[in-house]
Chain A
């Protein structure tokens, strides 16, 4: 009740016009880009996507080019006391060379492709499978729900790394295992295990959402079950779906690297025309043999794995804080 009285009708006009209307998603986006760690994560991820996509333009050398007599050159920046090959560094090879003189920097750049693709392709499969199963189980309820949830129990109980190891060994020499240097099989194995968490959460959301008034309203105007599931319920579970998906991505990258490190991931290619020449896991495996004398072979791919995992984790944290502020700070 200030002294300059404003008519009530105009007051509401002012209140509306003083701020533009903001949708949930715009609001979340602003929260995300205000989060420093999330922006940092986003920058790292975009950087690696860029490196993976334009590897041939960025890499200084052909990753498969063998330089005779230039094997095991340490990186120029590494103090001599830390590399015991006794060879002189060559400033043209910024991250040094491997046993047969291939440029480590170029190989690491090409290796980014596998990690980036592993971050997105199996994740996409997981989202499609997990969301469909979760929606179906939650919406249909009853026996279907029971069967699907028991299936998730089985997958949940499987020691997943052991599963990946056995699958990779069993099916490596089949046509599926040979496709795309073994990556198709890897994606399949990751997807078979990964959908469970998502399916459970979507089911839980669907169970509570289907009792809500807007679903009843949709029913009463004659919407089909399919429409209700995908047009009314699904958009309302999007934030948990995004958050859980974001947290699956680092696991995918780590698993690929671990399998590569055990010699079970991508098969390093020899044909320069191949898209996936090598992976960070394969580089780590190669470096492991010469750990004592040539630590740089391990160091650069290890740092890359750590960086890209960190980027995706920060982004995931930021997405969770932005989409679900109540969850802030929990892990």
Chain B
């Protein structure tokens, strides 16, 4: 078990390095930079650009400094933008530790702020929950909560009342939830609830009212909810016919003990396996949903950063989301074995 965990965690390193390399390469291939975005617009004058470049360490080579190598300066050879961002290097003559120290880099568009400050720091006198990451996290948790609180009972009841109207209507809802892409569902809900029925504002300015959270959370969690309901139903149906359930009933256990103690525990195993991909879907889904609802979270910040070529924000977000996805997958494998001792980790 420990060996499995260590091997999986060590394997994270090459994966993360590759993700970093690809993102950095693509990012710098994109035309324009943080200070010269739109060719048509008024440009920052070249002298200022030079100062800014030096200030943010962008005067250095992107990957490796071949000139320094020719001079025999090995440390200078590695003193590039990529290495500085990921590990450590000098920025404007100052030594700085990079991503591996948890330093996400200086934001290039909101100058004077580090990416981790923008994302993690709440406005003054507010708890962490009011930061951008906190907003995204809260929305994701709410989405998972809605998905489980609605999806799980829906699947269980549908299985217990198989082939009744309840079963068919919950299957129908679940099928809709799986097939309708979440951003399309978002469009439908905005048009119906906000534009036509005026129940909520189209784009809430203040997110302090919890009612406004419900719609983006439902949209984000709809797919997970539908998947949970469908899988719970089918695996419950599967488990219901097993011998040990008949035995449990035969020895006179109450129906509640049979359902929750015997059936549900085993029926949940396949549900857990889809949780991994579902959490990933939730993470990436948040980018589009947050943009759509003008939600002040990390995902929307990222989409904005892309247009503004804020290299630090783009790198930081991609790396952290990649890390989260990997950890979620490892975690799911782990939970899987705990639920079903027959499965061995390999």
Give residues in A with beta carbon < 8 Å to B: 82, 150, 153-154, 156-163, 165-167, 169-173, 250, 254, 257-258, 261-262, 284, 288, 291-292, 295, 298-299, 302, 305-306, 309-310, 313-314, 329-331
B288–A161 CB distance below 8 A: yes
CB contacts under 8 Å to A, within B300-324, are 302-303, 306, 314, 317-318, 321-322
Which residue of chain A has its CB nearest to the CB of B309? Answer: A169
B184–A305 CB distance below 8 A: yes
A302-B187 contact in complex given A161-B284, A167-B26, C-beta closer than 8 Å:
yes
* Residue B178 CB within 8 A of the other chain: yes
A309–B180 CB distance below 8 A: yes
Contacts of B131 in A (CB 8 A): none
4 pairs of A and B residues whose beta carbons are closest in the complex = A329-B234, A310-B179, A170-B30, A170-B29
Decide if the interface of chain B is mainly helix, strand, loop or mixed.
helix
Which residue of chain B has its CB nearest to the CB of A313? Answer: B179
* Residue B274 CB within 8 A of the other chain: yes
B306–A166 CB distance below 8 A: yes
B195–A157 CB distance below 8 A: no
Tell me, in angstroms, the Cα distance from A264 to B292 when the chains sit together: 15
Question: Which of B15, B179, B291, B314 is within 8 Å of A153, CB to CB?
Answer: B15
Tell me, in angstroms, the Cα distance from A258 to B287 when the chains sit together: 10
A257–B181 CB distance below 8 A: yes
A331–B181 CB distance below 8 A: no
- A selection of 6 A-B contacts at a CB cut-off of 8 Å is A162-B317, A167-B26, A291-B190, A299-B191, A331-B178, A331-B230
Indicate the size class of the contact surface on chain B.
Answer: 35 or more
> B92 CB to closest chain A CB, in angstroms?
27
A153-B27 contact in complex given A162-B284, A299-B191, C-beta closer than 8 Å:
no
B230–A157 CB distance below 8 A: no
Give residues in B with beta carbon < 8 Å to A: 11, 14-16, 18-19, 22-23, 26-27, 29-31, 178-181, 183-184, 187-188, 190-191, 195-196, 202, 227, 230-231, 233-234, 237, 270, 274, 280, 283-284, 287-288, 291-292, 302-303, 306, 314, 317-318, 321-322, 325-326, 329
Question: Which of B19, B191, B314, B325 is within 8 Å of A291, CB to CB?
Answer: B191
B179–A159 CB distance below 8 A: no
A157–B306 CB distance below 8 A: no
A330–B325 CB distance below 8 A: no
Tell me, in angstroms, the Cα distance from A157 to B184 when the chains sit together: 26
Contacts of A299 in B (CB 8 A): 187, 191
A165–B180 CB distance below 8 A: no
Contacts of B317 in A (CB 8 A): 162
Contacts of B196 in A (CB 8 A): 82, 295
B15–A159 CB distance below 8 A: no
Tell me, in angstroms, the Cα distance from A173 to B30 when the chains sit together: 8
